[in-house]
């Protein structure tokens, strides 16, 4: 069962949705919540930046101003979290290294990391609404990652959509989804293959596993070669409360989990994505 959640705190639309999602999930499951404040001091101050002769005083003033801005933004995010928490207990943890390094290090102490899809996590640019740190987090095998888009809300009664192709990443994602107790609203398992029997066998395998873990699951075999579009269409039609997927695999649905296709799905998914490697 879900016992501990790590939330990457930020002030973007997706990060605010992630904050509210994590709070609702903690309230519903009783899991402990820790909010991480990203304070990349070396990155903010250009610790390894070469300083031209005579520019040391300017750099010192600039660095101090950047740190004050970061601290003020963090204080505002914490104040907003405190207001949104509405009685949900949480702990605060300040992480002082680069976003990916800091979150990967901290995630090992928790069951799941929750991050906003467009989170800037300090001073990063979220190209096309997708934080560049997310790819680094997906490559790591420390803990599953929940990526929350702007506007997404946690609904305990909403069924999840599970992308399944029998790959190790998909197997692990389905297993963790079940063992963390995230399937209380049920699940639809979607498998894509050229052959109907293969798609049905794959979807049936994962649905059967989930049923043995008390998740009301149904199989949805799809014949075709466009898994991203099939998943996006089904997620919107359900509508899905969460999309469960493995990450960065290689062939059917496995082609989905290569970098470019994963990013495409992350950018367009209407619901939170639970990803594991």
Quick: pLDDT tens for 201-240: 999 999 999 999 999 999 999 998 888 899 999 999 999 9
**DSSP summary character for residue 40:** -
Would you say the pTM of this structure is higher than 0.85? yes
| Predicted local distance difference test score (pLDDT) of residue 120 | 86
Q: Are 124 and 116 in contact (CB under 8 A)?
A: no
**Rounded Cα–Cα distance for residues 17 and 64 (Å):** 31
Residue spans of beta strands (DSSP E) within the chain = 4-9, 32-38, 91-95, 112-116, 145-148, 160-163, 187-193, 217-223, 242-246, 272-276
| pLDDT above 90: residue 8 | yes
Angle formed at CA 151 by CA 149 and CA 155, multiple of 5 degrees: 95
**Cis peptide bond N-terminal to 239, omega within 30:** yes
Token output for 252: 């059917």
More confident residue, 247 or 53: 247
Reference 18, options 102, 143, 112; nearest CA is: 112
What digits encode the pLDDT tens for the residues 246-270? 864 544 444 454 556 777 888 999 9
| Predicted local distance difference test score (pLDDT) of residue 141 | 61
- Please, which residues have CB within 8 angstroms of residue 195's CB and are 6 or more apart in sequence? 223
């Amino acid at each position: 069962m879900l016992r501990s959640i790590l939330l990457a705190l930020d002030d973007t639309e997706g990060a605010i949705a992630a904050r509210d999602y994590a709070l609702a999930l903690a309230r519903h499951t009783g899991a402990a919540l820790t909010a991480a404040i990203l304070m990349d001091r070396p990155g903010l101050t250009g610790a390894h930046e070469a300083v031209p002769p005579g520019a040391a005083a300017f750099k010192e003033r600039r660095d101090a101003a950047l740190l004050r801005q970061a601290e003020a933004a963090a204080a505002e995010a914490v104040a907003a979290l405190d207001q949104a928490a509405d009685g949900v207990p949480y702990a605060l943890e300040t992480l002082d290294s680069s976003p990916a390094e800091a979150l990967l290090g901290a995630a090992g102490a928790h069951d799941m990391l929750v991050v906003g899809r467009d989170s800037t996590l300090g001073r990063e640019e979220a190209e096309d609404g997708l934080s560049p740190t997310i790819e680094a987090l997906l490559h790591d095998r420390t803990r599953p990652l929940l990526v929350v888009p702007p506007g997404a809300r946690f609904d305990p009664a909403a069924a999840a959509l599970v992308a399944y192709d029998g790959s190790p990443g998909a197997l692990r994602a389905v297993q963790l989804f079940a063992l963390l107790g995230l399937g209380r609203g049920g699940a639809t398992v979607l498998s894509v293959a050229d052959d109907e029997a293969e798609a049905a066998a794959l979807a049936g395998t994962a649905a059967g596993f989930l049923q043995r873990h008390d998740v009301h699951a149904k199989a949805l075999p799809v014949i075709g070669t466009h898994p991203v579009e099939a998943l996006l269409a089904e997620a919107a039609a359900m509508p899905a409360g969460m999309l469960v997927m493995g990450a960065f695999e290689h062939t059917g649905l496995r082609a989905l989990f290569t970098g470019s296709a994963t990013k495409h799905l992350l950018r367009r998914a209407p619901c939170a994505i639970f990803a594991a490697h």
